[in-house]
Structure 1
């Protein structure tokens, strides 16, 4: 395959390999893990090794834990070439950069999740699970997990040194080419930064998050109440919406801002937070903690109602065009990816975004923009000479934009559209592939298992109802009161036969 050729060419000029990871390293072995990773970074292995763990598919479950599922295709380099440093390309999850790394001993393979955005004072907590996908049945999948595992500047790699033996990997998980699929699930990702604020320095060092640099600026002194403000230091001229929380002090005297959400002004500043009751910086300093939840880049376009296209750029500096379509009962917005030809061959680029129509003069207490129906939008793009575009519906009728006083028509006959960029992934393999068969096989297997369990549950409930009916008949013959009557409650059997329950 093509990427094998690329890997072999890269291997000829590769630096000397890093030392192998000790097989005894596991999730709770911080000392060994840290020393191994420091040696790898010192030798340049993490940066110069082969990229033979390919991000194949990415799925966001949109649940309360904000779960992301990443599927990797791992080539035979991970098991057959011990001198190769096998890592994935960086990918983003919860506005942090990550990678998956592998280590090999004589008899086993280790897997690690690596945090790429490590900086002093910051720590990230993650629930993650690594799962090797079986070629035979989904119940034969194997893996390991960690709950709220801590990543920091001194411990940027977490995983297990002996995830599986090479013999078992070859027998159950690898195909004839020696390739296997690895699934990574990440959820409940929390990013926290802590430092000590002490006069005269009242600004934190730069904090890297979501592709921007941030800082918390404090004003006030021993005689004035303290005011805190989150400031974006990079990305001049680009607007963004950020969600965060601030906290001062520790223990019972800790002051917490609660969740804060706002759009940064042109200078990158957010509204100030004044702790209540008023807090003052003492000479001994005060502990500041910042929780960064998300930060999303915004673009606001003036789109002509006459159909002229407006151009904008996403976080990866890719060009997009947006034009107004009035050939329907309601106004539609045609979104085109102008740089679709820049997508690498044999890859897919997944892009998601949300869109709003901005009001010209919102009334007091009225939202300044209305979100488009169907948002957020998402699409996969492969390399093409031109993009056909994606049509976004609005609730605005075409006849309304020609009337005076239209709430969304701005000066010059323009509609203002606000775009908020979401997740972006570059995925290997642009077409349906044999790799897809495994997930489809697992899905069908799980459906059949669920159907069998539902049928078994239905049978057991019918038996339970029959037993209860026989018991009620025996009690009636003996003149004993039936417990289910007179209480106003329905028995489990009666509930199981209600129309609210459906069985496959």
Structure 2
């Protein structure tokens, strides 16, 4: 088996996610058995890691589980086998903007490492080893031809919902209007970010990034291409880029202290209670179904929270995000959850004043929750598997410290050489050589700087 052990989001520009798997000996000692991890989510797509075994080597593949006609996903990914001795002995392979499609849903390497090397450098005495998967710059694109009289796309699966692009007009004098529609998840609000494009090449019309909250019917605001476009009998090429879609729960939390209940994407129950026992209003978030977490597992959950205003002025947002968002926590099986306290920027004394910006009729606060990543991780406690990552972290810190010391020593030597050169030129009565373009020489710059070296 391949067990998802830990998941980390680096929060960089490429939105990098790092997944660590513990792979049992079945991947190497049972050649007739296919070893595949359970599905996990990254960039709102479902994925899995699969292994192939030959007599002499082991192959590793990233498998896209949401394959459908017309959709393609591009990913930067890296597989890394973690060495038991030193992080510089790690081995792996990577790919840049690798394309996944319905006809090619698995990408990887059939001969990643030899069985002999795997057992010597990476596997422990039980035959288990750790595999790290890094995924970044994930892009989801869907393309099809819009051709009269059919102006709706087939259903598109993304982020656990089914979507469709619906077109109106495009014939006669009526210009074409496009709208993204959510077909599933009735009664579930969500915020979606996407982009639409019509045509190809120089005549391509692009909407730019669009972000909105779907209405009660799952519809988004319409987009009309400029200049106006029409659907001819020969059709027009439509491309949709789906960036993310996050489920939203909005609940009324009584200021008196009673809890309000809501549910996340996995139908797990949560409660939010208002806490007025401090200078600032706080919201107490409790996981009511914490006893449903499987034994010996951790459930990682992240979310963002807003306080919804009673009225909105021109140019003002309808809600204020809580400080410290997004929030995240790990949950293990327990009889009850102690809860997580979320601070707000709202003072308790301001709640009782007339015309409070956040106190709604009935003496309640409107809280908006937006659910983020959720992972079910193997091993609920610190384990021997954690030692490897801690060992690598300490090794890298020590090597970085050595490199910094070497760099500092070289800088001191360079400064000394520059100073000696400038002194020799001054003794000889020679002006310091000017650099092309009127720039000063390194010696001049070093002598005029205010930087001090110990």
Q: Same fold (TM over 0.5)?
A: yes
After TM superposition, give the deviation of residue 222 of structure 1 in Å: 3.6
Instruction: Give how far 1:221 is off.
Output: 1.8
Q: Which whole-Å deviations, capped at 9, do the CAs of 1:264-295 have from their partners, x for residues lacking one?
A: 00000000000000001100000000000000
Partner of 1:497: 447
Compared with structure 1, are the counterparts of its residues 341 and 194 closer, same or farther at alpha carbon in structure 2 (3 Å cutoff)?
Answer: same
Q: Secondary structure at the match of 1:435?
A: helix
**Could you say what secondary structure the match of 2:443 adopts?**
helix
Cα distance in 2 for partners of 1:494, 1:274 equals 61
Per the alignment, do residues 501 and 278 of structure 1 end up closer, same or farther by CA in structure 2, a change over 3 Å counting?
farther
Shift in Å, 1:402: 1.1
Q: 1:473 deviation in Å?
A: 1.4
Q: Secondary structure at the match of 1:135?
A: coil
1:8-57 deviations in Å (ceiling 9; x for gaps): xxxxxxxxxxxxxxxxxxxxxxxxxxxxxxxxxxxxxxxxxxxx100000
Which SS does the other structure have where 2:117 is aligned? helix
Q: Distance in 1 between matches of 2:117 and 2:35?
A: 19
Distance 1:495 1:89, change over 3 A: farther
Listed one character per residue, the Cα deviations across residues 318-363 of structure 1 (whole Å, up to 9, x for unaligned) are: 0000000000000000000000000000000000000000000111
CA contact (8 A) 1:198 1:285 kept: yes
The question of whether the paired residues in 1 share the 8 Å contact of 2:18 and 2:133 is answered with yes
The CA deviation at 1:468 is: 1.0
Deviation of the 1:493 alpha carbon: 8.1
Q: Does the 8 Å contact 2:310/2:357 carry over to 1? A: yes
Residue 365 (structure 1) shift: 1.3
Question: How many Å separate the matches in 2 of 1:131 and 1:199?
Answer: 49
CA gap of 1:306–1:177, structure 2 versus 1, over 3 A, is same
Counterpart in the other structure of 1:6? none
Q: Check 1:55–1:480 CA distance in 2 against 1; reply closer, same or farther (3 A cut).
A: same
Deviations 1:184-224 (A, max 9, x none): 00000000000000011000000000000000000042431
Q: Provide the C-alpha distance between the structure 2 equivalents of 1:451 and 1:502, rounded to a whole number of angstroms.
A: 21
Tell me, what secondary structure is at the counterpart of 1:487?
A: helix
Q: Is the CA contact (8 Å cut-off) linking 2:433 and 2:441 kept in structure 1?
A: no
**Corresponding position of 1:130:** 79
Whether 1:437 aligns to 2:405 is: no
**Residue 126 (structure 2) pairs with residue 177 (structure 1):** yes
- Unaligned stretches of 5+ in structure 2? none
What CA distance in whole angstroms lies between the structure 2 residues aligned with 1:64 and 1:498?
Answer: 38
> Does 2:372 match 1:413?
no
The structural deviation recorded for 1:484 is: 6.9
Q: Is the 8 A contact 1:454 1:503 kept in 2?
A: no
| Aligned CA distance change for structure 1 residues 380 and 223 (closer, same or farther; 3 Å) | same
Residues 289 and 491 of structure 1: CA distance in aligned 2, closer, same or farther (over 3 Å): same
The CA distance in 1 between the partners of 2:61 and 2:322, in whole Å, is 40
Q: Does the Cα contact within 8 Å between 1:461 and 1:496 map onto a contact in 2?
A: no
Find the aligned partners of 2:225 and 2:436 in 1 and give their Cα distance.
57
2:142 to 172, 193, 199: 193
Question: Taking structure 1 as reference, are residues 266 and 502 closer, same or farther at Cα in structure 2, changes over 3 Å only?
Answer: farther
1:477–1:494 CA distance, 2 compared to 1 (3 A): closer
State the distance in 1 between where 2:155 and 2:96 align.
28
Deviation at 1:95, TM superposition (A): 0.1
State the shift of 1:483 in Å.
4.0
- After superposing on structure 2, the runs of 4+ consecutive aligned residues of structure 1 that deviate more than 6 Å are 484-504
Contact 2:419 2:447 in 1 (8 A): no
Distance 2:13 2:434 in 1: 38
Asked if the contact 1:222–1:282 (Cα under 8 Å) also holds between the matched residues in 2, the reply is no
**Superposition TM-score, scaled by structure 1 size:** 0.87
Displacement after TM superposition at 1:498 (Å): 11
Q: 1:142 to 1:499 in 2, by over 3 A?
A: farther
CA distance in 2: counterparts of 1:491 and 1:448, whole angstroms? 36
For the structure 1 residues 315 and 223, does the alpha-carbon distance in structure 2 shift closer, same or farther, using more than 3 Å as the test? same
Residues 1:350 and 1:503: Cα distance change in structure 2 (over 3 Å): farther
Alpha carbons of structure 1 residues 491 and 172: separation in structure 2 relative to 1, 3 Å? farther
Equivalent pair of 1:464/1:493 in contact (CA under 8 Å): no
Q: Separation in 2 of the partners of 1:481 and 1:348?
A: 70
Q: Residues 135 and 306 from structure 1, CA distance in 2 versus in 1: closer, same or farther, beyond 3 angstroms? A: same
> For residues 39 and 339 of structure 2, what CA distance do their matches in structure 1 show?
28
Residue 239 of structure 1: CA displacement?
0.3
- Provide, for residues 408-463 of structure 1, a one-character-per-residue CA deviation record: whole Å limited to 9, x for no partner: 01010010000000000000000000000000000000000000000000111111
Contact residue 286 and residue 337 of structure 2 kept, 8 A: yes
CA distance change for structure 1 residues 272 and 389 in 2, over 3 Å: closer, same or farther? same
- The 2-side partners of 1:496 and 1:439 are apart by 42
Paired residues of 2:435 and 2:441 also in contact (CA < 8 A): no
Equivalent residue of 2:436, what SS?
Answer: coil
Alpha-carbon distance change, 172 to 486 in structure 1, aligned in 2, over 3 angstroms:
closer
**Residue-by-residue CA offset, 1:142-198 (whole Å, 9 max, x unaligned):** 000000000000000000000000000000000011000000000000000000000
Is the alpha carbon distance of 1:459 and 1:497 closer, same or farther for their aligned partners in structure 2, counting shifts above 3 Å? farther
- The answer as to whether partners of 1:458 and 1:503 remain within 8 angstroms in 2 is no
Residues 492/272 of structure 1: CA separation in 2 closer, same or farther (3 Å cut): farther
Alignment partners' CA distance in 1, 2:358 and 2:340: 22
CA change 1:477–1:492 in 2 (3 A) is closer
Q: 1:480 to 1:490 in 2, by over 3 A?
A: closer
SS of 1:201's equivalent in the other structure is: coil
Give 1:478 deviation, angstroms: 2.0
Structure 1 distance, partners of 2:79, 2:93, is 6
Whether contact under 8 Å (1:461, 1:493) holds in the other structure is: no
